[in-house]
């Protein structure tokens, strides 16, 4: 962390370091994606940095502007935005640092060896699929055909064919299909709690008269909750208010049910059948979304002493990056170097998913794309999940 503070304090604007007065926030996604593309495509070695909360006065002296703590909360999820919009995938960390008593933010972008980095999907009319930027005199400039051609020629000069790469599910051979067991999602803790509250509300409306209604409510409560939970007189309005809070109240219980008790672990292997190591590789998966299909965006909290506690930082960092959209789910992971001669696992911690009975008998296609610094073109293909 000290080296980030030192960069914020002492570095000057360059192709490797950019300064920005205010946080990007939800309204600055376009600028964030453009700036990340530009600095990732810089012709330099090593990491790159975007420092948030630093401006300059007329004399070129730095002026610090504190960054709100909420900008580090994951909303917007800057890493997820980069994963969704930029290819090949980039490694980005956003951290708070303190300089002269002020809280600043620093985006640290990993060594970018797989240039050019481009937009993989449209973000807006001004930032479309295939657009690429680079920093020229510390200003982001859109790249043209000549600049892109130069980068591609450099990339392909010592490249390896993607036909030497095989990707699939592990086993005695590399499989292209994976059987996934389905579960009854009606047993989700939030679903069970909601059903019980619904039964209580129905009991209230079944019999007219306050005395009888109260007795029926007590009997229904005892049948649903047992004697461990004492009866409390609650109005229909109270019960409706509880219903609206159920998903939030049982969020950790539901995640434990889906991604611990009933999880399906998904691991992939990458087999480099060539004679040369694949360098700076990263893998991206795209799978359809469905109401009965759940993929963990992070590891579930660990149960302890009747509650839940956070996972270790190492565990959280080793889980794949997952972005859930309305129609599709994207999974990304950095692989680094892939040595030739033997299959290697793609995920340090397997991807966790859970499928409901509504998917039984169906199949999902899983599109994969492997990027690497010395691949002539990305390795692409299709796998299948069979429910």
Q: In this predicted model, what pLDDT tens digit does every residue of 19-63 receive, in sequence order?
A: 999 999 999 999 999 999 999 998 888 899 999 999 999 888 999
Strand 17-20 relative to strand 379-386, pairing: unpaired
Given this model, what pLDDT does residue 218 score? 55
Residue range 186-233, pLDDT digits in tens: 999 888 887 877 776 666 665 544 444 555 555 554 455 555 555 455
Q: Which residues of the chain have pLDDT under 70?
A: 1, 157-158, 200-243
* Tokens linked to 321: 């990056």
Q: What is the pLDDT of residue 40?
A: 94
Burial 348-359 (b: 16+ CB within 10 A, else e): ebbbbbbbbeeb
pLDDT of residue 58: 87
| Nearest CA among 7, 1, 16, 8 for reference residue 67 | 8
Q: What is the CA radius of gyration of the chain?
A: 26
Give the pLDDT confidence score for residue 374 in this predicted structure.
Answer: 85
- CA geometry: angle 293, 295, 299, nearest 5 deg: 150
The 3-state secondary structure of the chain reads CHHHHHHHHHCCCCCCEEEECCCCCHHHHHHHHHHHHHHHCCCCCCCEEEEECEEECCCCCEEECCCCHHHHCCCCCHHHHHHHHEECCCCEEEEEEEECCEEEEEEEECCCCCCCCEECCCCECCECCCCCEEEECCEEEECCHHHHHHHHHHHHHCCECHHHEEEEECCCCCECEEECCEECHHHCHHHHHHHHHHHHHHHHHHCCCHHHHHHHHHHHHHHHHCCCCCCCCCCHHHHHHHHHHHHHHCHHHHHHHHHHHCCEEECCEEEECCCCCEEEEEEEEEEECECCEEECCCCCCEEECCEEECCCHHHHHHCCEEEECCCEEEEEEEEEEECCCCCEECCCCCEEEEEEHHHCCCEEEEEEEEECCCECCCEEEEEEEEC
Task: List, in order of start, the domains of the chain with CATH numbers.
Answer: 2-157 (3.30.950), 162-185+263-386 (2.60.40.10), 189-249 (no CATH)
Q: What is the mean pLDDT of the chain?
A: 87
Model pTM? 0.65
- Give CA–CA dist 31/3, Å, rounded: 25
């Amino acid at each position: 962390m000290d080296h980030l503070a030192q960069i914020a304090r002492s570095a000057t604007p360059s192709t490797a370091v950019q300064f920005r007065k205010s946080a990007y926030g939800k309204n600055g996604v376009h600028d964030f994606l453009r700036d990340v593309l530009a600095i990732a495509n810089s012709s330099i070695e090593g990491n790159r940095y975007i420092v948030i909360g630093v401006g300059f006065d007329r004399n070129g002296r730095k002026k610090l502007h504190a960054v709100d703590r909420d900008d580090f909360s994951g909303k917007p999820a800057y890493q997820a935005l980069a994963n969704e919009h930029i290819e090949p995938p980039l490694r980005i960390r956003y951290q708070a640092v303190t300089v002269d008593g002020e809280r600043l933010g620093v985006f640290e972008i990993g060594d970018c060896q797989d240039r050019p980095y481009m937009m993989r999907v449209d973000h807006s009319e001004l930032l479309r699929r295939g657009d690429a930027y680079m920093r020229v005199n510390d200003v982001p400039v859109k790249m043209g055909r000549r600049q892109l051609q130069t980068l591609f020629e450099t990339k392909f000069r010592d490249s390896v064919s993607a036909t030497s790469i095989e990707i699939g599910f592990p086993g005695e051979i590399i499989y292209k299909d994976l059987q996934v067991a389905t579960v009854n999602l009606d047993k989700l803790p939030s679903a069970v709690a909601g059903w019980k509250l619904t039964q209580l509300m129905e009991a209230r409306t079944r019999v007219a008269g306050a005395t009888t209604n109260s007795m029926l409510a007590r009997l229904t409560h005892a049948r649903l909750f047992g004697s461990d939970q004492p009866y409390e007189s609650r109005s229909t309005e109270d019960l409706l208010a509880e219903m609206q809070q159920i998903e939030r109240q049982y969020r950790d219980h539901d995640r434990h049910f889906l991604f611990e008790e009933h999880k399906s672990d998904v691991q992939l292997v990458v087999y480099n059948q060539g004679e040369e190591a694949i360098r700076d590789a990263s893998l991206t998966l795209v799978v359809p979304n469905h109401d009965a299909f759940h993929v963990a965006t992070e590891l579930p909290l660990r149960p302890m002493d009747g509650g839940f506690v956070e996972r270790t930082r190492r565990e959280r960092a080793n889980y794949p990056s997952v972005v859930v959209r309305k129609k599709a789910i994207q999974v990304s992971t950095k692989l680094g170097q892939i040595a030739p001669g033997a299959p290697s696992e793609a995920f340090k911690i397997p991807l966790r998913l859970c499928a409901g009975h509504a998917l039984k008998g169906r199949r999902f296609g899983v599109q994969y794309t492997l990027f690497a610094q010395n691949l002539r073109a990305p390795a692409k293909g299709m796998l299948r999940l069979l429910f």
